[in-house]
Structure 1
Amino acid sequence: MNKIWDFFAENPMAAVIAAGEIGFWVAIGAGLLARYLLRLKRTSTVLLALTPVIDIVVLVATVLDLQGGGKANFVHGLAAVYLGFSVVFGPSMIRWADVRFAHRFAGGPPPPPKPRGREKARVEWREWGKCVLACGIAAAVLLGLIFLVGDGEQVAPLWGWLPRLGVATAIWFATGPLWQELSPKNDDRVSEGTRR
């Protein structure tokens, strides 16, 4: 346990990112609780609207840390990646949680069944497109941080995140849409034949 506290003491940005992720889920949970159990729709809307504010706080903390002379490291790059993925995937994560919470606590309809066949392939392509967009936003934030701070040596580790984003996109493509397209289960005719 001491090692964890030591890590956060040495890397305050890691604590900011961890607090941001925890805050993201707390805001979602509190917003859904307010909406469905307490029937406080306006309060719920405000709580759910806090999720992008949390992203902004993480970004501002990153900029302030670097402009204050902090040397960029892995965690500063992670903050940019967190921002990109949170902005792109955050709304769909909220919708996912909302449907399940409404079904469980407010008599809402059950979540839709998992897609199959061609529909599953379309979902994989859409999610990979969102990954590309998230990586693009993360890359733009990284480049913004690099040029905003301007000190080559101070921000050198941030450059290393750009190839990582490319690798993440390629892995997502291979394990998502490409895998689904090459899978025999993806063929609707095969699916229909196996159901008979």
Structure 2
Amino acid sequence: MVVTLIVICEVGFWVLLVTGLAVRYLLKMPRTGAALLLCEPLLEVVLLVVTAMDLKSGAEPSWKHGLAALYIGYTVGHGHRTVKWLDGHAAHRLAGAPRPVGPPRYGMARARHEGRVWLGTLVGAAVATVLLWLAILYVGDASRTSSLRSWMGAAWRTAGLHGLVALSYAIWPRKAPEPDPGPREPVRVERR
């Protein structure tokens, strides 16, 4: 049931996102579109409540409950940026707004961008950890909650790996290509 609900929440996230953007830009109803976009966090609240009810009803804590916590953490850490990115592209494609500026590609500007993205992953790992600890306390039996503890490790390993990738942009910043010096004069070959 929990895995099905995670899938429903993920599909619901994209359906609400597409519907909200379509209402906002195609139907020219920005307030209604914004209201639909603001409904997206309700999906995570529903998932949280159903997961808690599942544990309360005596379900054995398992990978499903851990996955639900990681999904909610990821959405908290990265959902806003995803919505903002897609909103910028929808405004460009559907409403004639200027093309959104992409992330920097080179140097320390790129490293700072990657660091901000990594902070979203840290937020997600922290949220997932808090939810998993609350679930462990809720169950109250340490012998039954080892799978929930293992998901905490997975969250922080993921954040650590993402941090190493982000750090690599600071240690080895990618250099911008040399500017093109312009057209060169053709080389003349004399015939004899």
**TM-score using structure 1 length:** 0.86
> Which one of 143, 156, 172 corresponds to residue 162 of structure 2?
172
How many percent identity over aligned positions?
33
> 151-160 or 50-59, which moves further after superposition?
151-160
Alpha-carbon distance in 1 for matches of 2:101, 2:109: 13
Q: Which amino acid aligns with 1:34?
A: V
Determine the structure 2 residue equivalent to 1:16.
5
Give the match for residue 61 of structure 1. Answer: 50
Structure 2's unaligned 5+ residue stretches are: 181-192
Give the C-alpha shift of residue 83 in structure 1.
0.6
Alignment counterpart, residue 102 of structure 1, candidates 91, 114, 131? 91
Instruction: Return the match for 2:129 from 139, 153, 163.
Output: 139
Q: Which amino acid aligns with 2:137?
A: F
Contact kept in structure 1, 2:77 and 2:122, CA below 8 Å: no
Normalized per residue, the structure richer in helix is: 1
Distance 1:123 1:85 in 2: 18
Kindly report structure 1 stretches of 4+ aligned residues shifted beyond 2 Å.
151-156
Cα distance, 1:46 vs. partner? 1.7
Deviation at 1:43, TM superposition (A): 1.7
Alpha-carbon RMSD: 1.4
Report Cα offsets for 1:28-84 as digits up to 9, x if no partner.
Answer: 110000000011222212210111100101111110001111111111101001111
Deviation at 1:184, TM superposition (A): 4.7
Residues in 1 aligned to 2:79 and 2:103: alpha-carbon distance in whole angstroms:
20
Q: Provide TM-score, normalisation by structure 2.
A: 0.88
Higher Cα radius of gyration: 2
Map 1:111-122; keep pairs closer than 5 Å: 111-115=100-104, 116-122=106-112
**Residue 183 of structure 1: how far off its partner (Å):** 2.2
SS at match of 2:103: coil
Match of 1:191 among 169, 176, 192: 176
Distance of aligned partners of 1:41 and 1:184 in 2 relative to their CA distance in 1, 3 Å threshold:
closer
Q: Which secondary structure state, in structure 2, belongs to the residue aligned with residue 45 of structure 1?
A: helix
Q: How many residues align?
A: 179
Shift of 1:132: 1.0
